[in-house]
């Protein structure tokens, strides 16, 4: 991975391929490699003629870790992605976000709509607006000394994932703690970028993709049969849907 010093944060990133840029923004407790490289996204996009930029969000992977929740406000995380595009001298990129990455992508698009081309909301449906539930059990699970003390099932899943990936659990707990700045239907209504919303049919976190797509002026949705929040990431139908969505823009 390469590193970019962006004001008060070092952002680790991957930059591969040539062609139209695609920015990949991973989900909570994940990394660029786990979310995008290992499931085959980067290789697929490069093979199809795209330049792929995938970053480790602050608090994740090889990027700078903070332990103050104020350092993870969504605008700050969106500005990291924008600053990385500046660093690489990229004026505009298609963007794929997954879960928290979709939320970051939304704030990025609201801040600088001209920097985003076609946008993909992966692993995030109507709960982008409604909220994905209480964060406290997840933070508590990440900070628990003994995993036997973790009773919340969602907290257990994220703790197991964080342990599996060797993540900095204290940084992740800080990341999930900031006040959840709401995204409203009125904000989504001004996002005119062509948008694709992709969610697994068994996803217990994201909410319905069709509802979010209807809130977006140029939105469409794709449901992945039998996939939950974790298993949808590498789904073949997800990948083919995104490639088709991108090619639609190129053929206009």
Answer yes or no: is pLDDT of 82 > 90. yes
Q: Using N-to-C axis directions, what is the helix angle for 74-87 and 100-111, rounded to 10°? A: 70
pLDDT band at 136 (very low <50, low <70, confident <90, very high): confident
Residues forming a β-bridge with 5? 10
- Chain mean pLDDT for the chain: 94
pTM value is 0.94
Q: How many CB atoms lie within 10 A of CB 205?
A: 20
Q: What is the pLDDT of residue 154?
A: 84
Kindly report the CATH number assigned to the domain that includes residue 93.
3.40.50.1820
List CB contacts of 86: < 8 A, sequence separation 6 or more: none
Q: What is the pLDDT of residue 147?
A: 87
Q: What is the pLDDT of residue 241?
A: 98
Highest mean predicted confidence (pLDDT) among 40-54, 130-144, 157-171 = 40-54
Segments forming the whole domain that contains residue 32: 2-250
Q: What is the pLDDT of residue 252?
A: 64
List CB contacts of 161: < 8 A, sequence separation 6 or more: 29, 30, 167, 230
Q: What is the pLDDT of residue 177?
A: 85
Length of the chain, in residues:
252
The predicted-structure confidence for 193-202, as pLDDT tens digits, reads as follows: 999 999 999 9
Answer yes or no: is pLDDT of 131 > 90. no
Q: What is the mean pLDDT of residues 65-74?
A: 94
Cβ contacts of 223-229, under 8 Å, gap ≥ 24: 223/198, 223/199, 224/198, 224/199, 224/200, 225/201, 226/200, 226/201, 226/202, 227/200, 227/201, 227/202, 227/203, 228/200, 228/202, 228/203, 228/204, 229/99, 229/123, 229/200, 229/203, 229/204, 229/205
Q: What is the pLDDT of residue 190?
A: 97
Q: What is the pLDDT of residue 250?
A: 76
* Residue carrying the six token digits 């979010």: 212
Q: Which of 23, 48, 56, 106 is nearest to 239 (CA)?
A: 48
List CB contacts of 250: < 8 A, sequence separation 6 or more: 20
Q: What is the pLDDT of residue 251?
A: 67
Q: What is the pLDDT of residue 51?
A: 98
Portion of the chain with pLDDT greater than 70, in percent: 98
Question: How far is it, in rounded angstroms, from Cα 228 to Cα 199?
Answer: 8
Phi, psi dihedral angles at 13 (to 5 degrees): -155, 165
Domain count, the chain: 1
Q: What is the pLDDT of residue 179?
A: 56
């Amino acid at each position: 991975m390469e590193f970019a010093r962006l004001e008060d944060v070092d952002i680790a990133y991957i930059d591969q391929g040539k062609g139209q840029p695609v920015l990949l923004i991973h989900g909570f407790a994940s990394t660029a490699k786990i979310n995008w490289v290992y499931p085959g996204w980067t290789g697929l996009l490069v093979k199809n003629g795209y330049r792929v930029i995938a970053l480790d969000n602050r608090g994740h992977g090889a990027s700078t870790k903070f332990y103050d929740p104020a350092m993870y406000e969504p605008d700050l995380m969106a500005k990291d992605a924008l600053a990385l595009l500046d660093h690489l001298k990229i004026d505009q990129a298609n963007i794929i976000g997954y879960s928290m990455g979709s939320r970051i992508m939304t704030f990025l698009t609201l801040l600088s709509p001209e920097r985003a081309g076609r946008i993909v909301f992966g692993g995030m449906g109507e709960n982008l607006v409604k909220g994905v539930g209480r964060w406290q059990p997840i933070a508590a699970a990440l900070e628990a000394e003994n995993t036997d003390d973790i009773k919340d099932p969602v907290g257990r899943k994220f703790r197991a994932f964080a342990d599996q990936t060797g993540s900095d659990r204290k940084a992740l707990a800080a990341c999930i703690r900031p006040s959840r700045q709401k995204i409203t239907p009125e904000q989504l209504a001004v996002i005119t970028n062509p948008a694709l919303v992709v969610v697994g049919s068994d996803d217990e976190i994201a909410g319905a993709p069709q509802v979010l797509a209807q809130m977006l002026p140029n939105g469409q949705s794709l449901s992945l049969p039998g996939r939950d929040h974790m298993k949808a990431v590498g789904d073949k139908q997800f990948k083919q849907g995104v490639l088709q969505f991108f090619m639609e823009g190129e053929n206009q």
